[in-house]
Structure 1
C-alpha cells in the first residue's frame, strides 16, 4: 500500500480526486485502489514542555535557566491524538509513503515530524503542490521527488523550531520571574520574532510621543512662460536658516522675497524631460497582498490570510496563498489565457479587463529562475460563483485576478518634466507628468499623480505673476497599521544600521514569514502588548514596559538576520545545526546575565505613569543650515516630515 500524508484535509481531498481510481472515505482516510490518502490537521505534534525532560522544570526557577535538552522530544497536540492514531495504524501497513506537506520549510517539518515520530523507516517520496485544481495535482503526482533530497531543508526547519523553543522558553521564564519580583503577576512572553516586532511599534510610538513640531515656510510663485502657466517652489539656501530637509525655518526671508517677485522676469535655467515606461505591478505574494488589501479595505493581515486560505482550500479559486514569491513559472504563460478566461468570465469588471488583455504580451512575471518552492498568487482558472463568496472574498479574489490580468497590458508611458527657474539669482523648482499611454494603470486607478507642465524650452524667459508664503508644520511619523507593519516586516533591513545585517535581511524573508506575520500581530494583541485603535496598531503600557526592560538585542531585528543566514546555510548543507544550537545557547547565557528586576520594575512603573524620577528635557530645536561662522543649533526631532 502507498500512503500519502497531506498537511490538511483539503489537500488530501484534492489529491484523492486526481488519482486514477475513484476514492472512498473509510476510517479517517481516502482509499483509491492501492493508494490511501490521509491527512494531518496542521501540526499534530508540538515540542515537549521542559518538565518532559526534567520534572524539576515544571516549576519556574531562575537558577534552572537556561533549559537545554540534550535531545528534543515531541508530544501529540491534545486535539490531534485521534488523527495521529489513524496515521499510526495506516503507516504500519504502508510499503511506501508520500510526504505531501505544503511546499515550504514549515510544510517539510510538519509532515516529516509525524513520519519520524511514528518510526517509519521505509521509502519516502515528496509531493509538491501549489495549486489544488485537478490538472495541477495530476501533474504533481506524476513528478514525485525523493524526500531525501529535502533532508537539508528539514534540518534547517528543525533547527529553527528547536531554537525558537530554547529562545522563547528561557527568556519568557526569565522575564516573567523578574516581573513577579517587580510586582507584575502575569506571563511576560518573549519571542525571537514577536519581540522585535513589538520593539518596532514601541520605538515608533515613542518617536510620536517625543516629537516636537516646528513650523517651516515654503514660498510659491506662479509663473508665465510662452506655453502657459505653472507654479514653482523656492529652493532656499544658506545662510538662510534651514533644517536637514532644506525647509526654511524663519518666515522673514520668504516674505521679503515674495514681495519682490510679482512682475519680475527670470529664465528657465535647467530642464529635464524624459519619457518613462513603467511595467505593470507583479502578481502578488501574500505579504504584498496583505499590504495592498489592508490599505484599500482596512482589513487586518489575519483576515486577509484567512480569506486567501478559504479561496484556496474551500473555493479552489486561487493557487497556494502562503507564498513569498511574486513570479510565475514559464509554463504558466502558455496556459494564462485559458486560466484567466475561466477566472474572469462571471464578473463584469474582470470580464471587461479580460477583453482588453493582449495575450501575446509576455511580462517579466514569468521567470523560472525566480520561482522557488512557491510561485505568486494567481487564479486557478475555476470560474467563481460570486453569490457563494463573501464580500471580502470577492474583493481579495478580484485583486489577485487583476494583478494577473495586468501582465497582459502595455506599460504605463509618461512624459515627465522637471525644471529649475531663476528669479533674482534664486532657484525655483517645478515638476509635472503627462500620461502618453495609460497601459495597465486604469486597472488600478484613474487618478493622475501630477498635472503636466506647459511646454518649456531651456533658457526661455519667464515672468512671475504672483507669489505667496505658506505656514506649515512638521508632523510626527504615522503610527503603524497592519499594512505598514507588514511592509516594515518585509523590508525590515530599513530599520537597522549594520550594512551586512541589512543585506541579509534584504536577501531573506525579512522579519517573520508569509505564513506567520499575520499570526504574530494577532498574538501580540492577544497577549496584551498591542491594541488596535481604528486602523492604528499601538503598544500598550505593558508592551512598552517589556521592551524598555529587555536587552536591546532582544527587541531589535538583527538576531533574525543572523539566524536566517545560518538556517539558509543549513538548508544548503553548508552549516551544522548542532553548531548553530551551541552558538544560540552561548547567546542565551549572555542575555540571561542581563536580566534585571530593578530595571523591569522601573520600566513597568514608568509605563503605568507612577511616580518615577525622570530627567526633564528641554524641547529640541531644529538644526539650521547656515553660514560657516554661524554656530549650529541642535538637530530636529527624528521622524519629522512635511
Structure 2
C-alpha cells in the first residue's frame, strides 16, 4: 500500500481526487484503489515544554536558577487535539509499503511530515510530492514527478534547527526577562519577534529625535514659443544641496545677469517593464497599500484561494517571483480565464500581444516554490467572499501585466548649467500605453513644450524655494515586511556587512505575518492610520533586553545559516552549538543587567496582553500552520 500523508485535510482531498481508483472515505483517511491518503492537521507534534524534562521547571521561580535549560536532546509530544489523528497515521504506517510526504513545499512542510515518520520509526521507502497549487492540472503534474524524499533531508534538518533554536532562545530568554528584569510581568522574547520589534522602536525614536534642516532649491522660468517651462535645481544628494539662503540668493543674482540661456535638449526612449509577479511579501504589501489589510489577513485570503475548496491560487508562502519554464504553456490559458471576468473583459484584445517572458519563466531562478499566481482554474465569483474576490483580482491583474509588452516612454530633458549648478526639467510622453501592461495601470505623463537643442531662451523668472529635510516615515506593515526581508542596509559593522547578502532577512515568508500580528497582540506595537507605532511597553522591552538580542542583523545571519544547512553547506550540530552558546551569553547578559535595567509596563496592559496571548494559544491549537509555533515566542 502506498500511503500519502498530506499536511492538512484540504490538501489530502485534492490529492485523492486526482488519483485513479475507486474512492471511499473513512475516519481520518481516504482509500483510493489500493492506496490511502491521510493527513495531519498542521503540526500535530510539538517540542515538549520544560516541565516535560523536569517537573520542577514548571515553576519559573525554580527554572530561572538553572537557565539556560540543560537540555541536549529534544522531545516531541503529540498535541492534545491531534492524538487521534496521529494514531490513525501510525496505524496506516504499519500497513504501508511506501510513503509519500505531501507536506507543503517548504521548510516547515518538509519537517511537518518527516517528524511524524521519524517519531513513528518509519524506515521504508519514501517519496516527496511537491504541490504548488491544488487545481487538477497542477496536482496531476506533481503526482507524475515525485522525487525521493531523501533529497530533502537537509531541508528537514534546517527546519528542525529553526524549531529548536526558536525554543532555546524563546523559552530561556522569556523566563529570564520576566523574572529578572520585569518583576514577573510577562515579557515574551523571540529570535525573530524581538529584533522585529526593535526595528519599529528605533524607527519611532529616529522620527522623534529628528531635527529638520532647512535647504534651498532654485527655480527658473524660461519662455518658449509653446509656453513657459520651469527648470529646477533640487538635488536629492545632500552633498550637492544648497544649505545657505545667502548662497541661494547669490546664485539667483548671478543667473539673473544672464537674461537668456542656451539649453541642451536630450530625448530618449525609456522602457518600463511590468511589475514582477507576486511573492507573498509583495502581495501582502500591495494588499496593505490598496486595502489597508494586515499581512496576516492577506495571507489568510491567499491561503483560502489556494485551498482545495477554491483551487484558484498557487501556494502562497513563497519568496520567489519566477516560474518554472514548463508552466509557460499554461500562461495564456490562465490569461484567457482572467479576461472573462467583468473587471478584465475590456482587456481581452490585448491577449494578441501576450507572451510569457523568458526572464520570468526561468527554472534556474525558482527556489522551493514559484511565484504566487492564479491557477488554470476559472474563477467563479459566486463562491468567493468580497475580500477573496479582491485578492484574486489583484493576483490576476499582476499576472496579466506580466504577459504584456513593456511600456515605452519618450523622455525629454531640457537643461542648462551655471557653474556646477545644473537646472533641468523632464517631460515624458507615453508611446504605447494602450498596447502595454500600463493599460491595466494607467499613469498620467506630462510633456514639455517643444524646444530645439541649442535654442536660446529668455528668462522670465527666477526664485528661491525654501524646503526642509523630512524624518523617516513610520512603518506600515508593507514597509516593515520589506525591511524584515532586507536588513543588510542597517549594518554598520564591516565584518557583518561583508557576510550578509542584500536579501538577508529575519523570518520567512511563512512566519513574517505572524510575527507582526504577535507584536500587536502582545501590546508591543499599535496600529494607527495603517502605521505601526511602538508602545511604551514595547520600547521598554527593547531597551531592557541585551542589545545583541534586538539586533536584526544577527538574526539574519542565523537565517542565512539555516539556508546553508538546507543546501548541505553547514552541519546542524555546528549550528545548534552556536545557538546554545549565544543563548548562554544572552542569559548571562540578562543576569548582569539586574539592578541596572528594568522592563516596566502598564499593569492593566500586561493583564490584557496575557489574556490575548492565552486566547491566541488556544486558537493556535486548532489552526494548521500557526500551530508550528504554538506556545513558543518566535
TM, length-normalised to structure 2 = 0.88
SS in structure 1 of the partner of residue 423 of structure 2: strand
Q: Is 2:335–2:351's contact at 8 Å kept on the other side of the alignment?
A: no
SS in structure 1 of the partner of residue 238 of structure 2: coil
Q: Is 1:243–1:249's contact at 8 Å kept on the other side of the alignment?
A: no
Q: Who is 1:493 aligned against?
A: 488
Distance 1:305 1:502 in 2: 32
Higher mean alpha-carbon deviation, 464-473 vs 83-92, is at 464-473
Q: Who is 1:455 aligned against?
A: 450
Distance 2:287 2:550 in 1: 28
Distance 2:162 2:122 in 1: 23
Q: State yes or no: 1:40 paired with 2:40.
A: yes
Distance 1:146 1:116 in 2: 16
Q: Who is 1:352 aligned against?
A: 346
Cα 1:233–1:15, aligned 2, differ >3 Å: closer, same or farther? same
Higher mean alpha-carbon deviation, 269-278 vs 171-180, is at 269-278
Q: Who is 1:284 aligned against?
A: 278
**1:403-414 map, 5 Å:** 403-414=398-409
Cα 1:160–1:425, aligned 2, differ >3 Å: closer, same or farther? closer
Higher mean alpha-carbon deviation, 261-270 vs 542-551, is at 261-270
Deviation sequence 1:428-452 (CA, Å, 0-9, x none): 222222222225343443223x522
Q: Is 1:216–1:471's contact at 8 Å kept on the other side of the alignment?
A: yes
Q: Who is 2:141 aligned against?
A: 139
**1:332-411 map, 5 Å:** 332-345=327-340, 347-358=341-352, 361-363=355-357, 364-411=359-406
Cα 1:34–1:46, aligned 2, differ >3 Å: closer, same or farther? same
Q: Who is 2:589 aligned against?
A: 594
Distance 1:95 1:420 in 2: 76
Q: Who is 1:205 aligned against?
A: 204
Distance 1:144 1:373 in 2: 14
**1:202-281 map, 5 Å:** 202-225=201-224, 228-234=227-233, 244-255=238-249, 258=252, 264-268=258-262, 270-281=264-275
Compute the displacement of 1:397 (Å): 0.7
1:171 pairs with one of 169, 173, 184? 173
Cα 1:72–1:91, aligned 2, differ >3 Å: closer, same or farther? same
TM, length-normalised to structure 1 = 0.87
Unaligned runs of 5+ in 2: 605-634
2:287 pairs with one of 270, 293, 303? 293
Cα 1:581–1:425, aligned 2, differ >3 Å: closer, same or farther? closer
Q: Is 1:235–1:429's contact at 8 Å kept on the other side of the alignment?
A: no
Deviation sequence 1:405-450 (CA, Å, 0-9, x none): 11221111112233432369854222222222225343443223x5
Cα 1:500–1:446, aligned 2, differ >3 Å: closer, same or farther? farther
Q: Who is 1:95 aligned against?
A: 97
Q: Who is 1:466 aligned against?
A: 461
1:521 pairs with one of 512, 516, 524? 516
Distance 1:485 1:73 in 2: 35
Deviation sequence 1:4-26 (CA, Å, 0-9, x none): 10001110010000011132211
- Residue correspondences, number: 597
Q: Who is 1:152 aligned against?
A: 154
SS in structure 1 of the partner of residue 94 of structure 2: helix
Deviation sequence 1:358-380 (CA, Å, 0-9, x none): 36623221111111220111211
Q: Who is 1:196 aligned against?
A: 195
Cα 1:114–1:186, aligned 2, differ >3 Å: closer, same or farther? same
Unaligned runs of 5+ in 1: 237-241, 609-642
**1:52-91 map, 5 Å:** 52-60=52-60, 61-91=63-93
2:442 pairs with one of 443, 446, 454? 446
Distance 1:47 1:437 in 2: 58
Higher mean alpha-carbon deviation, 541-550 vs 135-144, is at 135-144
Q: Who is 1:632 aligned against?
A: none
Distance 2:254 2:168 in 1: 70
Cα RMSD (Å) of the superposition? 2.6
Distance 1:271 1:557 in 2: 47
Distance 1:334 1:171 in 2: 51
Distance 1:62 1:426 in 2: 65
Compute the displacement of 1:125 (Å): 1.1
Deviation sequence 1:561-607 (CA, Å, 0-9, x none): 32233222222222211111112222222222221123432x63899
Q: Is 1:216–1:250's contact at 8 Å kept on the other side of the alignment?
A: yes
SS in structure 2 of the partner of residue 37 of structure 1: strand
